[in-house]
């Protein structure tokens, strides 16, 4: 009997059956067809928001009505500006949704004529007063995909240089250097709750740890 055969024999039948069933269910889910959009209708529109009603037909024949916040096609950028390998530049600005000041990463919409990297460099110069010679896309995140079509592109900015562009903020944005090695302390701060920024900081912390371990 080969080692592989001995290994298969050692697997309890119930465990093997459960593994097989889980695999079948998983592949059924990933192969499932998206609902067909039968009709869309704008039910509200403001300067920032576009609320849309959708009539959908699912693959099982059921017709249902959903509502979603329709976003601009290009989305937004969230920039992680690293002054050095352990110092990230945060901003503290007023957040109208929670009516308080929030510690987060610089961010903003991508203009129609911009790439995501160009938008990241512009937002960095407007909100932080730095540009970046090195920009890299790390990930693209959704916020609440069940009803919000917005996509945020996370950009790592390195090799910074001082340069400021005029922005459209009603008051000066406070820039706060923070050691990424003290991320746990930052998360304990009552003003640091923005999920995209938290996710991006963890991404960069882990990435820098990996490159350091590889001697890069």
Q: What is the pLDDT of residue 71?
A: 75
- The better pLDDT of the pair 7, 120 is held by 120
The domain ranges of the chain are: 12-70, 76-213
The pLDDT, as a whole number, for residue 22 is 59
Q: Which residue has the tokens 């009709």?
A: 39
Contact 120, 209 (CB under 8 A): no
What is the fold of 12-70?
SH3 type barrels. (2.30.30)
Distance from first CA to last CA of the chain, Å, rounded?
A: 46
> In CATH, what class is 76-213?
alpha beta
pLDDT tens for 84-135 read 999 999 999 999 999 999 999 999 999 999 999 999 999 999 999 999 999 9
pLDDT recorded at residue 21: 53
Give residue 95's pLDDT.
94
pLDDT at 7: 44
More confident residue, 36 or 26: 36
**Percentage of the chain with pLDDT > 90?**
67
Compute the C-alpha angle 56/139/149, nearest 5°.
Answer: 25
């Amino acid at each position: 009997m080969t080692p592989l055969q001995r290994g298969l024999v050692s697997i309890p039948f119930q465990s093997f059956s459960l593994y097989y069933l889980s695999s079948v269910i998983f592949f059924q889910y990933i192969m499932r067809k998206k609902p067909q959009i039968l009709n869309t209708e704008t039910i509200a529109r403001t300067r920032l928001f576009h609320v849309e009603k959708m009539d959908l037909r699912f693959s099982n024949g059921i017709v249902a009505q959903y509502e979603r916040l329709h976003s601009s096609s290009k989305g937004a950028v969230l920039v992680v500006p690293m002054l050095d390998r352990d110092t990230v530049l945060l901003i503290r600005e007023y957040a109208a949704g929670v009516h308080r000041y929030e510690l987060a990463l610089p961010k903003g919409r991508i203009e129609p004529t911009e790439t995501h990297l160009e938008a990241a460099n512009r937002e960095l110069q407007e909100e932080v007063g730095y540009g970046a010679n090195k920009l890299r896309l790390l990930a693209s995140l959704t916020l609440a995909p069940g009803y919000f079509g917005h996509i945020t592109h996370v950009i790592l900015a390195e090799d910074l240089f001082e340069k400021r562009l005029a922005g459209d903020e009603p008051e000066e944005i406070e820039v706060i250097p923070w050691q990424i090695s003290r991320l746990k302390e930052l998360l304990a701060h009552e003003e640091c709750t923005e999920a995209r920024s938290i996710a991006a900081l963890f991404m960069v912390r882990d990435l820098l740890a990996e490159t350091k371990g590889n001697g890069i």
